[in-house]
Amino acid sequence: MTLIDGKALADKMAIALKDKVDALKAKGVTPGLVVVLVGENPASQVYVRNKERRALTAGFKSEIIRLSEETSEKDLLALIDQLNQDSQWHGILVQLPLPAHISEEKVLLAIDPEKDVDGFHPTNMGLLWSGSPVMMPSTPAGIMVMLDEYGVDIAGKTALVIGRSNIVGKPMAQMLLDRHATVTIAHSRTKNLAEVAKQADILVVAIGMGNFVTADFVKPGAVVIDVGMNRDENGKLIGDVKFDEVEPIASLITPVPGGVGPMTITMLMEQTYETAKRTLGK
Ligand SMILES: NC(=O)C1=CN([C@@H]2O[C@H](COP(=O)(O)OP(=O)(O)OC[C@H]3O[C@@H](n4cnc5c(N)ncnc54)[C@H](OP(=O)(O)O)[C@@H]3O)[C@@H](O)[C@H]2O)C=CC1
Ligand SMILES: Nc1nc(=O)c2c([nH]1)NC[C@@H]1CN(c3ccc(C(=O)N[C@@H](CCC(=O)O)C(=O)O)cc3)C=[N+]21
Ligand SMILES: [Mg+2]
């Protein structure tokens, strides 16, 4: 079986999380996650709803704050300040992307690093890169859990991460490096990408272009992780990897949907729980 079943692992972890949350509630702390959504991006609406459903199932307190597309940067920053002060919220997540008139950098900087369950604040990114992570970006963190669950050896292996965003590619590279992989990061300026990719024992693809990675990118027996979320011409959700072509060559591969996405939400919940737990006795 070559499939990495992220959905099944996410469901399994959700059951264990509920027990941990019940125990924490018995000690008087209910984990709280607040999600801020600015504008009407339909994809964001779906993710945000999934997050809320999973948070409530886990026994969290959870709220979505929906703001209009026209919300000013100043008003958003004021809201974040208020959420930072509000002790019922252990985790604050501002859904990206934000409308063009709002600076993502300023907004991420405004979130209290101790409530930054996305791990996007420069303080948390710095802690990750210096080897003492506190808050980890949930997408790469979920990928590490999947690799461990499926017994993938990382130390000494060649890993290629395609994509260098702050939210996926860069933290992914650091997490693999921390586990002693030999890591390369590729991007839109990389030359001979297929040849570079073909060297990798572990290939993580986070580009945002449907079916971009074909069989000629993949070393036989490689582990292939597909982060991409794209819509094909029929509106069907597809990954960055041409699954049918690559699956026979890979030793393990994540599907889209049902791979990385569900684990992203799981790690967000786990991190919010851990953050709530740290407030015990404070
Ligand atoms: N399943 C999940 O939980 C999540 C899924 N996603 C999905 O993952 C994908 C990537 O997201 P994100 O990291 O935010 O994307 P960004 O758009 O921020 O970054 C994309 C990266 O891919 C690189 N790239 C683009 N085209 C090519 C190409 N032809 N060859 C090589 N590299 C290329 C870009 O290079 P350059 O830097 O040179 O421009 C950039 O570094 C998207 O489909 C997104 O929807 C994202 C987050 C979570
Ligand atoms: N501040 C912030 N934090 C994020 O973590 C964040 C963000 N902004 N902006 C957008 C990306 C994307 N993202 C996903 C979460 C869940 C699924 C997910 O649940 N996917 C399922 C189902 C998807 C579906 O059916 O539409 C799957 O792949 O099986 C996907 C993508 C989080 N992101
Ligand atoms: Mg993006």
Tokens found for residue 216:
């000629």
Nearest residue (by CA) to ligand 1, atom 30, is 188
Q: Is 138-261 in the same CATH topology as 28-117?
A: yes
For 62, half-sphere exposure in the C-beta direction (CA atoms, 13 angstrom radius) is 19
Ligand nearest to the CA of 169: 1
Reply yes or no on whether 51 is catalytic.
yes
Across the range 262-282, mean pLDDT stands at 94
How far from 15 is each of 9, 54, 139, 272, CA to CA, in Å? Answer: 10, 11, 20, 16
Ligand nearest to the CA of 36: 2
Any ligand 2 atom below 6 A from CB of 43: no
Of the residues 5, 115, 116, 118, only one is catalytic, namely 118
> Does position 178 have pLDDT exceeding 80, yes or no?
yes
Largest CA-CA distance found in the chain, in angstroms, rounded: 56
* Of 3-7, 68-72, 175-179, 278-282, minimum mean pLDDT range: 278-282
Q: What is the dihedral of CA 214, 168, 201, 157, to 10 degrees?
A: 170
Across the range 113-132, mean pLDDT stands at 97
Which single residue is written with the structure tokens 């019922």? 88
- From the CA of 177, how far away is ligand 2's center (Å)? 24
Residue 51: predicted pLDDT: 87
Residues with CB under 6 A from ligand 1: 139, 162-165, 167-169, 186-190, 193, 206-209, 227-230, 260-261, 264
Domain spans of the chain? 28-117, 138-261
For residues 85 and 213, what is the distance between their CA atoms, to the nearest angstrom? 45
Per-residue confidence band for 45, with pLDDT thresholds at 50, 70 and 90? confident
Residue 42: predicted pLDDT: 78
Radius of gyration of the chain (CA): 19
Across the range 179-185, mean pLDDT stands at 98
Q: What's the whole-number average pLDDT of the chain?
A: 96
pTM of the model: 0.98
Does the interface ipTM go beyond 0.85?
A: yes
For residues 62 and 91, what is the distance between their CA atoms, to the nearest angstrom? 10
What proportion of the chain, given as a percentage, has pLDDT over 90?
Answer: 93
Any ligand 2 atom below 6 A from CB of 208: no
Q: Which CATH number fits domain 28-117: 2.60.40.1150, 3.40.630.30, 3.40.50.10860, 2.170.190.11?
A: 3.40.50.10860
Nearest residue (by CA) to ligand 1, atom 27, is 188
Per-residue confidence band for 213, with pLDDT thresholds at 50, 70 and 90? very high
Residue 118: predicted pLDDT: 97
Across the range 132-146, mean pLDDT stands at 97
Across the range 226-233, mean pLDDT stands at 96
Residue 1: predicted pLDDT: 63
Residue 18: predicted pLDDT: 97
CATH topology of domain 138-261: Rossmann fold (3.40.50)
> Does position 74 have pLDDT exceeding 80, yes or no?
yes
Strand locations in the chain, DSSP E?
32-38, 61-67, 91-94, 158-162, 182-186, 202-205, 223-226, 230-231, 237-238, 252-253
